[in-house]
Amino acid sequence: MKVTEHLSKAKQSLISFELIPPKRGGDIKSLLSVLDDIAQFHPPFIDITSHSAEIYYEETAKGIVKKIKRKRPGTLGICALIQNKYNVDAVPHILTQGFTREETEDFLIELRYLGIDNVLAIRGDDNGYQKPIPVGKSANKYAVDLVSQISSMNNGKYLEESLLDAKPSDFCVGVGGYPEKHYESPNLMTDIRFAKAKIDAGAEYIVTQMFFENKVFFDYVDSCRKEGINVPIIPGLKILTNKSHLINIPKNFYINIPSDLVDEVYAAKAEHIMDIGVEWAAKQVEQLLNSGVPGIHFYIMQNSGPVKKLMERLKLYKKIF
């Protein structure tokens, strides 16, 4: 079922989750444990991130060698697992960064084979590696270009000539939104106009970047509505669990962490920080639910412990499900 269908049929705000694949060379046992944990909350859909190849350097007997690898493969297989083992709709992330349009078309065709109805179209992080584009191939530069490609497939327009008579795809396309603006945008309103372009290209809902102040989200939604964006906007939340998050989250995601939360975390012992993060998120969730948001999307990566604690704290497993 499409994400938009889940949202339109829901009588209350939905709860969804986002996971990250295991590192190359690892195994899926830890991820299965996380999936078992969150499946009890009956999420309508679960997002799985995607990762392009990146450059890294490895010291060898012959000196330091530059290598290029995808450190976290497996998005497709995990999506198949989620849909067939857990009967939950999977939402794979589709990237422009590191993939040709032809590779994207192949990936989308494989998703169709698996009966996956949803994708989240994003540019992806700049990891310092610009993949060479082979002669005769092409690449999407921005997320709006990727949305346009998927919309073309939904209209029966394929890159590969042998597929021109194939049936149109029917993907529900989500995109990212940035309540505190994307770091490359000159200002928030410009960023919202970029979001509007993605909606005009065929995107059907927005999931926001994490934030720690609800006013930031509410102001963002108001600005989007004034700009003519009328699709569902799902707030994304992250539970802060350790002091390193105070540095890593702003550094990697270019967002602000409120002073009250920062002061409380710095003053706390390490074993109490998760409780502080859960309590802060609980207040955010209660206010968001009371405001009637279409859903709440939790960025849990590979750690279900904090969100389990939050769900029990709010008794959401009883209230919503």
Please tell me which residue, 60 or 255, carries the higher pLDDT value: 255
Is 268 among the domain residues?
Answer: no
Going by C-beta distance under 8 Å and a sequence separation of 6 or more, which residues neighbour residue 14? 6, 7, 43, 44, 294, 295, 296, 320
Q: Which tokens belong to 274?
A: 């998760």
Give 110-141 pLDDT, tens digit per residue. 999 999 999 999 998 665 666 677 777 888 99
Looking up residue 174, the CATH number of its domain turns out to be 3.20.20.220
Q: 31: domain range?
A: 3-242+273-319
pLDDT of residue 70: 64
Identify the pLDDT of residue 30: 87
Measured torsion, CA atoms of residues 145, 77, 33, 171, in degrees rounded to the nearest 10: 40
In a domain, residue 248? The reply is no
User: How many distinct structural domains can be found in the chain?
Assistant: 1
The answer to whether position 259 is within a domain reads no
> For 275-294, what is each residue's pLDDT tens digit?
999 999 999 999 999 999 99
- Is residue 43, in this structure, part of any structural domain at all? yes
Domain assignment of residue 267, yes or no: no
pLDDT of residue 65: 60
* SS3 readout for 32-57: HHHHHHHHCCCCCEEEECCCCCEEEE
State the burial class of residue 11 (Cβ atoms within 10 Å of its Cβ: 0-12, 13-18, 19+).
Answer: exposed
Helix or strand (DSSP H, E) at 144: helix 143-154
pLDDT in tens, 155-198: 999 998 777 678 899 999 999 999 999 999 999 999 999 999 99
| 142 is a domain residue | yes
> Rounded to two decimals, what is the model's pTM?
0.92
Distance CA 288, CA 285 (A): 5
Tokens of 169: 């795809």
